[in-house]
Structure 1
């Protein structure tokens, strides 16, 4: 994210508005410049408002006539999300909720079918990219009734028909096309544009459609989509939803993509996400996440075009203010240092604390005027989750050195 025009972002901002303005400016700049792609990862403790920022961004860019975003994809697989449950204008809600805060699991196959069809109708190569990314083929089936008689009028949601005959929604030729799908497993990527268009119309009437997955391994086993693990389902749904809105000028907002994902899938998230967009350049992805693995592995493959925005609250106050700071992916030196710095956590037997102490002392030698800032940083590190008693003793020893010898450091720096 190009943020060179934003000054003093490491200092506390006005609650919420400073952060929101910062995000808006960065997104507007990147979508208009076309020198992307650009990614922004928002992290912070629960309650800092990551999901709410995504919802606000959707509303802001969706409601403005001068918006640089051509489409806003609001993506979530959680039972609850903060997005508005609606598609309007440029906003496309691709969450899990279908009404209120409910999730009807029987509708997931139909939702995924619609998402894939939408991608096919925009660019048929989309579904092939999805299949390649996930190493699985996507197929659908519409069950033949036990009676063996196919009466489309009786196989759809009558509330959708509104007492009208099926012929008012599908003409005779379209009904023949739909009837030809019954009792078969049809691969989405084999559909013609005409077939995909007709199937999309039919799915709007809420028929019982099932999705099947054929894994691209040695056995090429075919299983029901609902028999996949929750992680496999969420992974497929997330990438399919991204593909449904992947285009030039897209703003993609993804809330907690790591839900149920195995560590290896988290590691590959950023790289696969970027691959899904193919050769597109002008788009911006904003991800709210709790996963340091997603971020650190993203930094490994993509150091220049992504940034991490860290939301923080001063819990020591009765009414804590929201502040934020940011840094580029290129400034992430390692996964453990990322966890210590941005997630305020020292993992078990990590060496990141020792490295931070050593670098702080060296920085004090090289920058004597910054000793007080370095002391403040070390003091705050003692309060991070997971810092051991031994680490705290080492931090205290370093603090004693800095406090006792700070004047000497100035003298030595001046060559006296």
Structure 2
């Protein structure tokens, strides 16, 4: 197992912990963007407050300042995130905020439309990939203006007047061809995947003027329902938005940063996240995705299906022995994850209800002490750390204490034998 505890004197021993973490993330990203072999994913895990979201924002700002990345997608569906709202150097903010501290609560259908159209402009098959992944078809409609006798051009009545500068008309933003395309689509329910590329381009310009638009989805389940996007559950909306945002920035040489994709997701959708993500990006070689998550299900299920092309970087605060804390960063590949419960115990510092992993870890530690007497001190330290994990039962504590006594006795026997 590749494991670097940076604060303990690993290869970045002279760096501050957050700088060492940044260097490790950068190494993963640079390898993908320069040497290909992708799509590749790095998962960033750790308790609240250890700096996962700040690292995503730092990575985004760093590569935006370089200006040599094809696209940097900053994806979040949370109420708050750490990304900046600036678009520069290929950076595209795809979060929920519309200003520094405000939340974008309205015009969700228009947002969905813009994202899908952006993805289609990059690749015509983007929307079909989205539909296949989510097992639903996406449609939209723009209502024709009802105001009769108005001197304002029909299309101009549909857009946000604040988007038009003083004295400007919609003709200043849309060509004759663009206006004709939009008028032909008014009052109809149109499937995104049926659009031609010139229609996509005209609609993108129109959407920039913030018109009223409705998005519908047709579920491919036995019920074959067609419903408003807003009628979907929060989890369905977040899942659809996350994958649509991914496709809107997916191209060779892109970096995609996703903050907590598990928000509102049902367990089954968390289990399917990694497989679906890799499927959406299939065929792209020089692309890297960094995901900050609290979900061990996303990671362990990903490891089950993809053992070689993904990594996990875990950040954790540990007791420094002087009444304070220090930051430990470990880096491992998916193939090093033995099981879901071992992942939860080791990297999420939690013992799940009636887990067998605690007993297995105790047995492994005692065996290590017997086979490697020079490691007894480290073994005792690791055994004692088990008791600090959340969910440890009194029975588990008793087993740990018994194991520590056994190991110490082994050390005493060895010490006595050495003296004689």
Does TM-score exceed 0.5, indicating one fold? yes
- How much has 1:39 moved relative to structure 2? 1.3
CA contact (8 A) 1:250 1:284 kept: yes
Deviations 1:62-112 (A, max 9, x none): 1015x4x32111000011000001221210111111122222332221111
CA contact (8 A) 1:10 1:324 kept: no
Q: Secondary structure at the match of 1:118?
A: helix
| Cα 1:29/1:411, change in 2 over 3 Å | farther
| Cα 1:246/1:203, change in 2 over 3 Å | same
Aligned position for 2:401: 396
What runs of 5+ residues in structure 2 fail to find an aligned partner?
A: none
- How much has 1:148 moved relative to structure 2? 6.9
Which residue, 286, 307, 310 being the options, matches 2:311?
307
Aligned position for 2:117: 117
C-alpha distance in 2, partners of 1:352/1:299? Answer: 18
Aligned position for 1:261: 265
Residue 380 of structure 1 pairs with residue 385 of structure 2: yes
Higher mean C-alpha deviation, range 263-272 or range 175-184: 175-184
- How much has 1:348 moved relative to structure 2? 1.0
5 Å-filtered alignment, 1:1-400, equals: 8=10, 14-65=16-67, 67=68, 69-147=69-147, 151-162=154-165, 163-314=167-318, 320-400=325-405
Higher mean C-alpha deviation, range 234-243 or range 275-284: 275-284
| Cα 1:395/1:207, change in 2 over 3 Å | same
CA contact (8 A) 2:46 2:316 kept: yes
- How much has 1:364 moved relative to structure 2? 1.9
Residue 405 of structure 1 pairs with residue 398 of structure 2: no
How big is the alpha-carbon RMSD for the aligned residues of Structure 1 and Structure 2? 2.4
CA contact (8 A) 1:9 1:325 kept: no
Higher mean C-alpha deviation, range 392-401 or range 304-313: 304-313
CA contact (8 A) 1:12 1:323 kept: no
Higher mean C-alpha deviation, range 392-401 or range 366-375: 366-375
Higher mean C-alpha deviation, range 348-357 or range 368-377: 368-377
CA contact (8 A) 2:145 2:157 kept: no
Q: Secondary structure at the match of 1:327?
A: strand
- How much has 1:146 moved relative to structure 2? 4.1
| Cα 1:75/1:33, change in 2 over 3 Å | same
- How much has 1:166 moved relative to structure 2? 1.1
Higher mean C-alpha deviation, range 22-31 or range 78-87: 22-31
C-alpha distance in 1, partners of 2:11/2:385? Answer: 19
CA contact (8 A) 2:12 2:20 kept: no
Taking structure 2 as the reference length, what is the TM-score of the superposition?
Answer: 0.92
C-alpha distance in 1, partners of 2:273/2:182? Answer: 36
C-alpha distance in 1, partners of 2:208/2:247? Answer: 20
Deviations 1:38-82 (A, max 9, x none): 2111111111110000000001011015x4x32111000011000
- How much has 1:3 moved relative to structure 2? 9.6
CA contact (8 A) 1:3 1:26 kept: no
C-alpha distance in 2, partners of 1:195/1:273? Answer: 28
C-alpha distance in 1, partners of 2:181/2:359? Answer: 67
- How much has 1:249 moved relative to structure 2? 1.1
- How much has 1:224 moved relative to structure 2? 0.5
Higher mean C-alpha deviation, range 20-29 or range 148-157: 148-157
Residues matched between the structures, number: 410
Q: Secondary structure at the match of 1:307?
A: strand
- How much has 1:341 moved relative to structure 2? 0.3
Q: Secondary structure at the match of 1:139?
A: strand
| Cα 1:358/1:11, change in 2 over 3 Å | farther
| Cα 1:3/1:61, change in 2 over 3 Å | farther
| Cα 1:374/1:193, change in 2 over 3 Å | same
- How much has 1:185 moved relative to structure 2? 1.0
C-alpha distance in 1, partners of 2:14/2:412? Answer: 30
C-alpha distance in 2, partners of 1:26/1:152? Answer: 48
